[in-house]
Chains A and B, each alone.
Chain A
Amino acid sequence: DAGVTQSPTHLIKTRGQQVTLRCSPKSGHDTVSWYQQALGQGPQFIFQYYEEEERQRGNFPDRFSGHQFPNYSSELNVNALLLGDSALYLCASTPGSGASSYNEQFFGPGTRLTVL
């Protein structure tokens, strides 16, 4: 059983560009959350998707957007990249809606984004 997978592994972009990161959840999981982990810091919650809708959002600007597909996979899009967007982006999946009860989140290995 494959765990959470993310692509690409590494990505280099320049300021002002747009980027799309992808996540495939663990089999049987229908809720996907995205986190940003800057160098030397703990992960910060960006948003969570369930039933193809954004259910919760952290303190991130509208430049950060997402999407969830019918097969539960998800994309994170970041527009107008800033140097400060350089980070490890982690995807986590859980079974069941995250809004009503807690289920363990399984994390992928992350995508390392570098903005030059």
Chain B
Amino acid sequence: AQSVTQPDIHITVSEGASLELRCNYSYGATPYLFWYVQSPGQGLQLLLKYFSGDTLVQGIKGFEAEFKRSQSSFNLRKPSVHWSDAAEYFCAVIKAAGNKLTFGGGTRVLVKP
């Protein structure tokens, strides 16, 4: 069965500092990988996705993620965090067919002024 692990439940970062959120997946075949963000009272918004090709993926809001097959990881990064980036972030995977998302437990990001 496929699974997604986000090891960090909470991360606190200062505004302007860099941010990296970890994601590890367990899946036999090549997965489709996603990062979503959820702000309070909001639905999930897609930040970026990886299907194939270049392993460094650029997303919205200045985020990027790198797929590392050897480490079964898909970590999310942002060079300089803004206060508006405070939210919960979810990594998710999907089979090649089926369109059923499997989410990690999420990482809550707090931004200090």
Contacts and interface: CB of A to CB of B under 8 A. Distances in A.
A107 B103 contact: no
Interface string A65-95: 0000000000000000000000000101010
Nearest to A3: B43
A99 B98 CA distance: 4
A45 B100 contact: yes
B43 A4 contact: yes
Contact of B43 (A42, A45, A108): A108
Interface string A33-70: 10100001111110010000000101000000000000
How many residues of B sit at the interface, in one of the four size bands?
20 to 34
Given A102-B32, A102-B94, A104-B49, A43 B101 contact: yes
Interface in B33-62: 36, 41-46, 49, 51
A109 B100 contact: no
Interface centre among A92, A99, A103, A107 (most CB of B within 10 A): A107
Nearest to B9: A40
Given A41-B106, A42-B104, A43-B103, A107 B98 contact: no
Q: Which 9 A-B pairs have the closest CB atoms?
A: A98-B99, A42-B103, A107-B43, A107-B44, A109-B43, A45-B100, A43-B103, A42-B105, A108-B43
Interface of B: 4, 6, 32, 36, 41-46, 49, 51, 90, 92, 94, 96-106
Interface of A: 4, 31, 33, 35, 40-45, 48, 56, 58, 90, 92, 94, 98-105, 107-110
8 contacts: A4-B43, A33-B100, A35-B101, A43-B101, A43-B103, A99-B99, A104-B49, A107-B45
